[in-house]
Homo-oligomer: A and B are copies of this chain.
Amino acid sequence: MDSPQVLNGMNAPRAAWPLVLAILLPLAYALVAPAAEPTPAPEAVAGQLRDAALAGHDVAYSWVSELTTRFGPRPAGSASEQHAAEWAAARLKALGFDNVHIESFPITAWVRGSESGSLVAPSAQPLVIAALGESPPTPATGVEGDVVIFRSLQDLVAAPGNSLSGKIAMVTQRMVRTQDGAGYGDAVAARTDGPKEAAQRGAVAFMLRSVGTDSHRMAHTGTTRYVDARVPVPSFALSNPDADQLERIAALGQIPRVHLFSGASYLTGAHSQNVIADVKGTTRAAEVVLLAAHMDSWDQGTGAIDDGTGTAIVVAAAKLMRDLPHRPRRTVRVVLVGSEEIAQPNAPFGDFGGNAYAASHLSELPEHVLAGESDLGADRIYSLALPASVAHGEFALATDRLLTPIGVLPAARPAEDGGADVGPLAKAGVPLFSMNQDATRYFDIHHTPDDTLDKVDRAQLDQNVAAWAAFIWLAADSDVDFRTPAAPRS
């Protein structure tokens, strides 16, 4: 179909891109590109990378398939996490990346033991539970107590001191399903702060409705918060149907009494590791555009969507660049981070990968020009948040031209402080971007045994790779300063 015809039709704004680009490209890139650059214009190359990814580049799916099949769960500090890192480094070398190496750092690992939960009154029923990450074990005979149900963390906080003596506190707050995962932030406070609040009121254990949006017999684990260098009481997530069941028993006027056991332990002297791989830049090789995702996973699933796909997306995007006949001006660095899942400030159980990278590369961070992470599954990217410095201007317009055709719109707000992989970089002043993934179904699966390869939608995975590859090329093969605050809009 010819463009002039299309311009009369419904699809004019999008289908007319080739024409518009032919007019605008030289104008746009006059602002950022040296006049006599021998390689193709960055936006044109970025478009080629995008289209190659969409056509079904196999690197991403093969990566996440092999990673999850060969190693299964990869808990922080485990042999499995280490073996996966060694495999990743070997594979990245084979893919032709530069500067491939592993950087280890010490941690204390948390190891799930056998565990069980059951209702003992008013009738005997098994419960599907999972100890929260870093939760201490119960005594060998378990803990047993009547359950006191709170509809929210706020209700638990409002309970008087010692009112839960000998009881098991339970928070049944529901997570709200949203496209951007915002419901997680609201609900997860019960997981991070519940154990402390329960313990302060005398409870012998803490339980919560899983922070998740599904209705399956899957308990969503996740880390909880330390108080004085320990998690104060054994703490567990209940599957959502089990939380419903306890609420219904209470609604019948009966008091649920529960027995909980966890044989969790801590492994001191363990280590985790980050895997680094570069596509080395040309004229600005010391400047780094950093792509992060994490290699470790929770122990119940195989870490397919959290975060095997994230590692697959950033590796596949960088591999597309690596296979071009020329290099970008700046270095593109893939950092596959270890020990992300236990990331929290001042954890007594050792460091996490994002922090370890920032600490060991501190002197280089002033030349880290831009960073982002992929850690919200592999469903399609619907928006891109740029650093505030470039949120309005030619760079933003170029990203719009590249990404709107694949459904990626400008985000409502500039990128903020990032996740655990790049958050420490942001604190050190590195500008962040955020490729916002559709998280509508992510928290159905997140941190459960159900995080397995079959949940990956290959077409959406490819769309992620396309968006990352196009955007990263645009940023890396440029001189754009992402760090300098933007002038106020006129």
Contacts and interface: CB of A to CB of B under 8 A. Distances in A.
7 contacts: A69-B249, A70-B122, A72-B245, A215-B454, A215-B455, A241-B454, A248-B453
A452 B241 contact: yes
Interface string A452-464: 1111000000000
Number of identical protomers: 2
Given A72-B245, A245-B452, 19 more contacts: A65-B248, A69-B245, A69-B248, A70-B123, A71-B123, A72-B125, A80-B123, A80-B124, A83-B123, A125-B302, A126-B300, A216-B218, A216-B450, A217-B448, A217-B449, A241-B454, A244-B452, A245-B302, A245-B453
Contacts of A252: 66, 69-70
B72 A119 contact: yes
Interface in A66-119: 66, 69-73, 79-80, 83, 119
A260 to B, nearest CB: 16
Contacts of A431: none
A128 interface: yes
Contacts of A70: 122-123, 249, 252
Contacts of A126: 72-73, 299-300
Contacts of A450: 216-217, 241
A424 interface: no
* Interface-central residue, A123, A124, A216, A299, by most chain B CB under 10 Å: A216
A301 interface: yes
Nearest to A239: B449
A252 B215 CA distance: 34
* Interface-central residue, A70, A450, A452, A453, by most chain B CB under 10 Å: A452
Interface residues of A, number: 39
Contacts of A449: 128, 217
Contacts of A128: 449
A72 B449 CA distance: 23
Interface in A120-154: 122-126, 128
Nearest to A240: B454
A248 B300 CA distance: 19
Nearest to A78: B124
Contacts of A454: 215, 240-241, 244
* Interface-central residue, A66, A73, A449, by most chain B CB under 10 Å: A449
A66 B71 CA distance: 43
Contacts of A73: 125-126
Nearest to A217: B449
Closest 3 CB pairs of A and B: A72-B125, A217-B449, A241-B452
Interface in A256-298: none
Contact of A241 (B65, B122, B245, B453): B453
A72 B241 contact: no
A77 B450 CA distance: 32
Nearest to A451: B217
A79 B123 CA distance: 10
Contacts of A299: 126
A36 to B, nearest CB: 49
Interface string A230-241: 000000000011
Contacts of A300: 126
Nearest to A245: B69
Contacts of A119: 72
